[in-house]
Amino acid sequence: MIKPHGSDELNPLYVEDEQKRAALLAEAEALPSLLLNSAAAANAVMLAGGYFNPLTGYMNLADALSAAEKMHTVDGLFFPVPIVNLTNDTGVTAGSRIALRDPNVEGHPVLAVMDVEAVEAVSDEQIAFMAEKIFRTLDEKHPGVATFTGLGQTLLSGPIEVLNFSYFKTDFPDTFRTAVEIRDEIAANGWEKVVAFQTRNPMHRAHEELCRMAMEQLDADGILIHMLLGKLKPGDIPADVRDAAIRKMVEVYFPPNTVMVTGYGFDMLYAGPREAVLHAVFRQNCGCTHLIVGRDHAGVGDYYGGFDAQTIFDEEVPEDALELEIFSADHTAYSKKLNKVVMMRDVPDHTPDDFVLLSGTAVREMLGKGIAPPPEFSRPEVARILSDYYQSLDAG
């Protein structure tokens, strides 16, 4: 199986040993506490599951600035975004041991224990520098910029030991999986070549066929449909609705034992190209050999060019940085001439009238009115689940 990123073995930061975990929980009750923001909590969950291998905790300021500017730490570890614990709490001191509390679970239980190696003040200029490098904009209307620049200006760095997976295991017991669990399942299936498909949205016909095309062209053993389960911007479809729609599509339209439907506990960055590279890092940690990168991957609004998330791998990612390979996808649409979904670059003889093209906005409006999108765009079983959701919003 493909090696994890940056090490021979995966190094998840979740404390598996029950006795050790119980002892840490007991110790944590007597430690000074820090209530994390959702971004830092999501980073802890990803570290816990082995997704951010080989990191052992939160980056210090030098590494964060280096990752933002050059996509590697000061020591040269390739990492495309800073993994940080930024806070407004200035009461923490270097050398202390603290309990990190979960902002997303009622009662704010302890999520992790941290050995604080450094407490560093981050200037407005440094926050702006990192944000501009990560998001390619400083526009406060960009949801990722708005979140990042509001996290705080005190950076706490050091190793962590994670004691649970926040709300993800309880809210999504059938879907949330760690990188360790995904690797184990890939091995149990005997899959060698595995294609990952990233999504924060339900999957329509174009997405479904894109997975099928990648699997066929790469002669892959299986597909990992890997959905984000954390915080999204207003208007995005909730994870439980998306999960139901994707599972129905896989159940009806894919052969048995060819698709794993899973999810991961992270808040969406909307960082376009940089987030695509982060997706590649943690899919390699999952054991995937390929990642589908399509049009406007991890984008939002008009902040990124349609294929910037592909060109970053050619222009900015060093050749030896990742073992995982990218499957670059073009615009996909339903061809009326061929009666199937195609990548538009593969049919140069087509005119615009030969395609069925619908905007996401148009589809949402149709679903909200109880009108099924055309079957060329969305499977009826999927459309029914989404229509019920949109109509429930209108009824509310």
Return d(Cα 44, Cα 22) in angstroms, integer: 18
Residue 61, classed as helix, strand or coil, is: helix
Residue 191, SS3 per DSSP: coil
Cα–Cα distance measured from residue 152 to residue 148, given in angstroms and rounded to the nearest whole number: 8
- Residue 97 is among the residues annotated as catalytic for this protein: no
DSSP string covering 342-386: EEGGG-TT--GGGEE---HHHHHHHHHTTPPPPTTTS-HHHHHHH
Q: Any idea which residue has 């990612």 for tokens?
A: 317
Cβ within 8 Å of residue 364, ≥6 positions away: 390
3-state secondary structure 17-51: CHHHHHHHHHHHCCCCEEECCHHHHHHHHHHHCCC
Tell me whether residue 201 is one of the annotated catalytic residues. Answer: yes
Q: Which of 11, 201, 212, 295 is catalytic?
A: 201
What DSSP state is assigned to residue 271? -
Nearest C-alpha neighbor of 111 from the set 101, 121, 122? 101
| 76 DSSP assignment | -
Around 49, how many Cα atoms within 13 Å sit in the side-chain half-sphere? 27
Query: Which ranges of the chain does DSSP label H, i.e. alpha helix?
Result: 18-28, 38-48, 61-70, 124-135, 143-148, 168-171, 179-189, 205-218, 239-253, 273-286, 308-315, 360-368, 380-395
Q: Which of 11, 21, 189, 200 is catalytic?
A: 200
* The token pair that represents 61 in the structure block: 């300021």
**Burial of 118 by CB count in 10 Å (0-12 exposed, 13-18 middle, 19+ buried)?**
middle
Residue of 388, 91, 383 lying closest to 208 (CA atoms)? 383
Q: Show which residues are catalytic.
A: 200-201
